[in-house]
Chains A and B, each alone.
Chain A
Amino acid sequence: MSIKTKFSSRLSLYIVGFSALLLIAVMLLYGMFARSAIQNEAQENTEKVLDNTILEIEKVITEVERAVDNVDWLVMRNLGDEKFLYEITREVVLANPNIIGSAIAFEPGYYKGKPYFAPYTFTNAETGTTRSFQMGSEQYDYPVLDWYQIPKLLDRPYWSEPYFDEGGGFQRMSTYSMPLRDAEGRFVGVITADISLEWLSHKVATLKPYEHSYTMLIGRNGTYIAHPDSSKVLNETIFSGQMISMDEQAIAQARDMLSGGRNFISYKYQGQGRFTLYGPLSNGWCLAMMCFYSDLYKVLSIMNWIMLSILILGMTVLFLGSRRIIRYETKPIEDFSRAALSIAGGDFQTHIPEVKTEDELRDLRDSLSFMVRSINDYMERLKSTTAAKERYESELGIARDIQMSLLPTDFPQIEGLQLCALVHPAREVGGDLYDFHINDNTLYFAVGDVSGKGVPASLFMAITRAALRFVGAMGMNMADVMSRVNDTLCDGNDAELFVTLFIARLNLETGEMTYCNAGHNPIVLLPPDGKAEFLHARPNLAAGLFPGFPYQEESITITPGTSLCLYTDGVTEAERDDKRQYGEERLLEWMSSQPGDRSSAALVASLLESLTAFTEGAEQNDDITIMTIRWK
């Protein structure tokens, strides 16, 4: 269960991780596009606001200019009527709500006996009362002021730079002045209209396209005419202010502002992304709007947080959902696992859960069920094979018993003769044999080795042994016995098996030994003097190969106390793992090392020990036969 949980969780995590990466990438892209779209829109928006505001201010300015222009002729026609002049200023102020004051200021001395003559009407914004008076005096020497002097010098209407009027209005204002000329073209004075900067400031201050943005009105020489920080108005210029850092580019921008340029600048100041849009008014002023990108992106940022929350929520839901789906979809795997475990436990009847879908799980189910069927079949086969094998083994066991019983074990223990022998087949049954019997004070003995091993060899061994017994009983000499045995074995030997055979007859009185060798390993003699040697014997030919082969026998007389050792090639060719063989030399050495009085049984045991020591436990790969005889 825990493994499955991990699997579904892991897979879900992969899915969620991948989806999250994808969505974050989408969000980032969206953010980029959204920002750029918002910037473009903001620019358009502020441009519109700026244009509208400029239009509005222009409208006021135009109205003021027109009001003054309209009364020009009236003044010139009624120069002599002082009272009427007051009326005109009064009329200008009352007829135009944007005009707070109006003056007709004459050249000093234009009126005889009046160094200063300037009828002035002014509306107090606080009280709303309108007052007319003559404002020129020695304290208020208006001919030297800008609003009087500059239009006079330029000989054209002029908007003064904003100033604080101390003569009449006692507030911040800007004055439009138009020069007056008489019929002769002489300059007689100016007619003016004042507009309140408070009004402009208010107008500009309410101009906030975005929460933190603000708008400024800048005069021709860079003085702030309107600014959200009213202490700056008339006191500071854009060059002295902290509006933008004054590098070369900023100075160029400021100059552009003052020379009637229009521009949209995007920049960073004090770690904040900002943009400024400015444009000129017809009288040379400049309206500039400062905006902060953070205001624009506020909505975007809120949107981002909302999207992030939705993303996290969505991913959590996706994770839980996909984990559940994967768990549900992979449930058959868990069932299979349980079924496989049960099958592994030996229950081949275990029901493998059905799968209705046509997919890999179905394949897995089919494979699993096929596997179970195969295992079942295999088990059945194995059962019958095992039964057959057990039968063979039991039969082989019986065959072994029969074969072993063919080898006599009633070793003679008589005066002057000891004989001991054994056969160790490499498998259950083998092709080695020995035989002996005593008749008429004569010992007949034989050792043989059928080619090959196992059952075929064992059958041939039995035939050989039977032939030997049958022919040996005929009382012939050794060569004849061998020839008859050979003929018998050749008869019907389609399998081309053969047997090497050594047969001998030992006169227990005289020690005369007659023997015939059919291709067998030379036997070892250990005379009483203690030097072992091979018995010379002509090999003739192994028996069972060629019928009618002329076998020849030989004779030797052994001295009393001599031991004989007969063996098969399982002894001399006994191998250890490095493929080295026991060999004839080692056999001779072993035999020589034996004490002269050693019993034949002890000799057999000693040779077996020597072989075991040599082979170091390597697997025996050929039948081993040893027969030892000690005479007298």
Chain B
Amino acid sequence: MNVTINEEGSKALVTLEGRLDTTNADQFQKDITPLMTGSHQEIDVDCTGMEYTSSQGLRMFLMLQKTVSARGAKLVLKNMKPQVKEVFDITGFSHIITIV
């Protein structure tokens, strides 16, 4: 899983590429720490290159969502592949995370 974070003022542009599964979930958690501890008001995540997410990956998005909401900021996941979107839909995560 490749995580690229570009900052534009208070906005963070994140690009995700590859698979997010149990083998790299811990690394992913480290990679997105700047987003959790930072003060970005808007976080745009481009999921074009994201191939798969496991339930542990969902947990990471959930944690990110909760931290971001706690500081009153906005998290948006964009351009998600259908098979990845399906996981978010099945588990009901689409209800709590903004996916456009």
Contact residue among B19, B22, B59, B93 (Cβ-Cβ distance under 8 Å from A541) = B93
Q: Does B56 contact A (CB under 8 A)?
A: yes
Q: Does B54 contact A (CB under 8 A)?
A: yes
Contact residue among A542, A546, A573, A581 (Cβ-Cβ distance under 8 Å from B91) = A542
Q: Does A579 contact B (CB under 8 A)?
A: yes
Known: A496-B62, A545-B62, A545-B96. A451 touches B55 (CB 8 A): yes
Q: Does A500 contact B (CB under 8 A)?
A: yes
Q: Does B63 contact A (CB under 8 A)?
A: yes
- Between-chain CB contacts (< 8 Å), 12 pairs: A450-B55, A452-B59, A496-B66, A498-B62, A522-B90, A539-B92, A541-B91, A541-B93, A542-B58, A573-B54, A621-B21, A621-B23
Contact residue among B52, B54, B62, B91 (Cβ-Cβ distance under 8 Å from A539) = B91
Are the C-beta atoms of B91 and A496 separated by less than 8 Å?
no
Chain A interface residues toward B at CB < 8 A? 449-453, 496-498, 500, 518-522, 539-542, 545-546, 569, 573, 579, 581, 621-622
10 cross-chain pairs, A with B, having the tightest CB-CB distances, nearest first: A541-B92, A519-B91, A451-B55, A519-B92, A539-B92, A542-B91, A451-B59, A452-B56, A496-B63, A540-B92
Chain B interface residues toward A at CB < 8 A? 19, 21-23, 25, 52, 54-56, 58-59, 62-63, 66, 89-96
The A-B contact count (CB < 8 A) is 64
Most buried by B among A451, A497, A539, A621: A451
Report the minimum CB–CB distance from B85 to chain A (whole Å): 12
CA distance A449 to B58 in the complex (A): 13
CA distance A498 to B92 in the complex (A): 11
Contact residue among B23, B52, B54, B93 (Cβ-Cβ distance under 8 Å from A542) = B93
Report the minimum CB–CB distance from A620 to chain B (whole Å): 12
CB-based nearest A residue for B92: A541
CA distance A521 to B87 in the complex (A): 9
Are the C-beta atoms of A541 and B96 separated by less than 8 Å?
yes
Q: Please indicate the chain A residues that have their CB under 8 angstroms from the CB of B66 in the complex.
A: 496
Most buried by A among B21, B52, B92, B95: B92
Q: Please indicate the chain A residues that have their CB under 8 angstroms from the CB of B25 in the complex.
A: 452
Q: Please indicate the chain B residues that have their CB under 8 angstroms from the CB of A622 in the complex.
A: 22, 54
Are the C-beta atoms of B55 and A452 separated by less than 8 Å?
yes
Report the minimum CB–CB distance from A498 to chain B (whole Å): 7
Q: Please indicate the chain A residues that have their CB under 8 angstroms from the CB of B22 in the complex.
A: 452-453, 621-622
CA distance A450 to B89 in the complex (A): 17
Known: A498-B62, A520-B90, A522-B90. A451 touches B95 (CB 8 A): no
Are the C-beta atoms of B92 and A542 separated by less than 8 Å?
yes
CA distance A545 to B23 in the complex (A): 23
Are the C-beta atoms of A539 and B55 separated by less than 8 Å?
no
Known: A453-B22, A539-B89, A539-B91. A546 touches B96 (CB 8 A): yes
CB-based nearest B residue for A584: B86
Contact residue among B52, B54, B59, B93 (Cβ-Cβ distance under 8 Å from A496) = B59
Q: Please indicate the chain A residues that have their CB under 8 angstroms from the CB of B19 in the complex.
A: 579
Contact residue among B58, B59, B90, B93 (Cβ-Cβ distance under 8 Å from A521) = B90
CB-based nearest A residue for B86: A584
CA distance A573 to B95 in the complex (A): 23
CA distance A152 to B23 in the complex (A): 136
Q: Please indicate the chain B residues that have their CB under 8 angstroms from the CB of A452 in the complex.
A: 22, 25, 55-56, 59
Give 15 new A-B contacts, CB below 8 A, not counting A452-B55, A541-B96.
A451-B56, A452-B56, A496-B62, A498-B58, A498-B91, A519-B90, A539-B94, A541-B93, A542-B58, A542-B93, A545-B62, A546-B96, A569-B54, A581-B52, A621-B21
Known: A452-B22, A573-B54, A621-B22. A539 touches B59 (CB 8 A): no
CA distance A520 to B58 in the complex (A): 13
Report the minimum CB–CB distance from B21 to chain A (whole Å): 7
Known: A521-B90, A539-B89, A540-B92. A500 touches B55 (CB 8 A): yes
Report the minimum CB–CB distance from B86 to chain A (whole Å): 9
Q: Please indicate the chain B residues that have their CB under 8 angstroms from the CB of A518 in the complex.
A: 92
Report the minimum CB–CB distance from A451 to chain B (whole Å): 4
Q: Please indicate the chain B residues that have their CB under 8 angstroms from the CB of A520 in the complex.
A: 90-91
Most buried by B among A497, A518, A519: A519
Report the minimum CB–CB distance from A550 to chain B (whole Å): 10
